[in-house]
Structure 1
Amino acid sequence: MKDNYRSRIDKAKAALEETDVILLGGGAGLSAAAGLLYSGKRFTDHFGSFIEKYRFTDLYTSSFYPFGTQEEKWAYWAKHISLNRYETGPTNLYQDFYQLVQDKPYFVITTNVESQFEKAGFAPEKVFEIQGNYSFLQCAKGCHNKLYYNEHIVKEMIEKTVDCKIPSELVPQCPVCGGKMDPNLRSNQYFVQDENWYERDASYKDFLLDAEGKKIVLLELGVGFNTPGIIRYPFERLNYHNENAILIRLNKDHPVGMEENKDKTMAFTEDMREVVLAFMK
């Protein structure tokens, strides 16, 4: 097993050294491996009052809780956003991946929404956060395509939360239609794709066009089957149709891909940081 691991590491290192470009795809498993866990001690340490009041078990399922009032909803979401976006600095794992790819032309597409790629040093214009970002609020009905940076109001909500509720005057309202607001996360048909979203979408497509005919490493990190049509399946198709492509998949739970790509795929189920550090040796 150790010999097999060593040979996979050597093969992956060679592919990364020889490639012309690198396309990174980051999923929830990457942030989990970086320590941004939605359950366990990280959850219980920060959400004790919400757990006691609502019997929450983790940050993922609690995000779908049907709060009775906007005051309750925003008390929860302010803490959720703050913990994952503003209270957590750059993690070692994301910084390791930046060190690995920084000297090559690269682009990132990610379903993660906590800005860890940007915090780690990746150029913002080379990161496409396709599912949204914790930093912004939007009209809950998507009545217009502008987003609103939320750091100040989130901090104020947390400071003034009492019994899992914020004061009514802090409940955000859409400045255009006067309706409710939501975090800018893709959860329904009202998800707002602003001008920046379309610019990143265009940059992603341009990157793929420019990579045609070049050696490309598809570095897939912790991508499962929650939204496989965004990263996992497109990476498999790119690998299949491009003779110069190699797919390197780091995935503890879902390493197996298309049978047709087995000779062009290197899968690693080992500790993600251990693997990326081995790539850099």
Structure 2
Amino acid sequence: MRAESIRTTTELLRQADAVLVGAGSGLSSAAGYNHYHHNTVFEENFHDFEKAYGIQSLFQGFYYVYSKPEQQWGFYSRYIRFMEEAPVGQPYIDLLEILREKEYFILTTNCDIQVPKVFPEERTCQFQGDFRYFQCSQPCHDKLYENHGLVEDMLKSMNGLEVPSELIPRCPVCGWKMVPWVQDSTFLQGEAWKIAYRRYENFVRKNQDKKLLLLELGVGDMTPSVIKLPFWKMADKFPETFLVTVNLAKESSPEHLKGKSLAVCEDLSLFLHELKENM
């Protein structure tokens, strides 16, 4: 089955004028960075938080209700540094090689810094933010703050698993607390976000009447309105567009897209590696 899917996808890539990739959390999981489940990476890097708070995954650690903000920022700072220092996963490297000679764009719901480590900013839209930045939690103004130095200071001064109160990031305008720039009820869809989203819209507009290949990689059901449903709509609406979905958990393409879609249930890391070798 995989061999046939590889051959079909290879031919679709060769024929495509442009490729739009929708990258979900499954792509990072295939790279070894599963943010939603307990695994070896979590045990090796966050065993002390697991022991102290019973946290079982990176995702749970981020949204855990800590007793004090000093504890919360202890986890935030460790989590951000972990993602900064994490090597680029092989599936991302393979994907770059697959796309290198094509007109392409990456739309992703991932915030874990893997995409910007590999792909140029002008070819990406990080729809749900990027852990490299902080924002005001109100937010009182439209600005993102690069956080490497702030995270460095917090980590250097940590007392056990807690950050000193005076180092908890505060908004320089209103004095309210800062938060990582990732999707939640306070998420800043400001100018930086709008510029990235316009890049995505412009790419779609430019290629909607061409042979456009949609590659949905590791997209689950948590936020279907970002990648999954728009991709279904484009595959249905645009005459020369074809959709390929690859997911380890299940095949996913609607009945009305028969003949314009291919649903593949495979390990993404193996699929992308073999696809790269076949190009």
Query: In structure 2, what is the equivalent of residue 88 of structure 1?
Result: 86
**Stretch of structure 1 that moved more, 40-49 or 26-35:** 40-49
1:102 aligns with 2:100: yes
Amino acid at match of 1:196: A
Q: Is the 8 A contact 1:28 1:222 kept in 2?
A: yes
- In structure 1, the partner of 2:110 is 112
Distance 2:42 2:7 in 1: 38
Normalised by the size of structure 1, how large is the TM-score?
0.94
The Cα shift of 1:5 comes to: 3.1
3-state SS, counterpart of residue 259 of structure 2: helix
Pair 1:150-2:147 in alignment: yes
Give secondary structure in 2 for the equivalent of 1:263.
coil
Which residue does 1:237 correspond to in 2? Answer: 233
How far apart in 2 are the matches of 1:11 and 1:216? 15
Distance 2:21 2:2 in 1: 22
Deviations 1:180-215 (A, max 9, x none): 111111111x21123221111111111111112100
Superposition TM-score, scaled by structure 2 size:
0.95
Partners of 2:247 and 2:218 in 1: CA distance: 5
1:171 counterpart (163, 168, 171) = 168
Alignment correspondent of 2:212: 216
Q: In structure 2, give the amino acid aligned to 1:134.
A: F
Map of 1:21-40 to 2, 5 A cutoff? 21-38=18-35, 39-40=38-39
Distance 2:211 2:263 in 1: 19
Aligned equivalents of 2:74, 2:2: Cα separation in 1: 47
What is the alpha-carbon root mean square deviation over aligned residues? 1.3
Which 4+ runs in 1 deviate beyond 3 A?
none
- 1:109 CA displacement: 0.5
Residue identity matched to 2:198: A
**1:65 CA displacement:** 1.4
AA aligned opposite 1:119: K
Equivalent position SS for 1:94: helix
SS, match of residue 278 in structure 1: helix
Contact 1:224 1:254 (C-alpha < 8 Å) held by counterparts: no
Whichever residue aligns with residue 212 of structure 1, its letter is Q
Q: 1:192 is matched with which residue?
A: 188
Whole-angstrom distance in 1 between the partners of 2:155 and 2:258: 49
Deviations 1:10-31 (A, max 9, x none): 1111110010000000001110
Unaligned segments of structure 2, at least 5 residues: none
What is the percent sequence identity of the aligned residues? 32
Shift of 1:156: 1.9
2:140 and 2:173 map into 1 onto residues whose CA distance is: 8
Could you list the per-position Cα deviations for residues 60-81 of structure 1 after superposition, in whole angstroms to 9, with x for gaps in the alignment?
A: 1222112222211111100111
| Aligned-residue offset at 1:178 | 0.5
Query: In structure 1, how many angstroms separate the alpha carbons of the residues matched to 2:190 and 2:161?
Result: 31
Q: Whole-Å Cα distance in 2 between the matches of residues 101 and 165 of structure 1?
A: 43
1:279 to 253, 266, 275: 275
1:125 corresponds to 2:122: yes
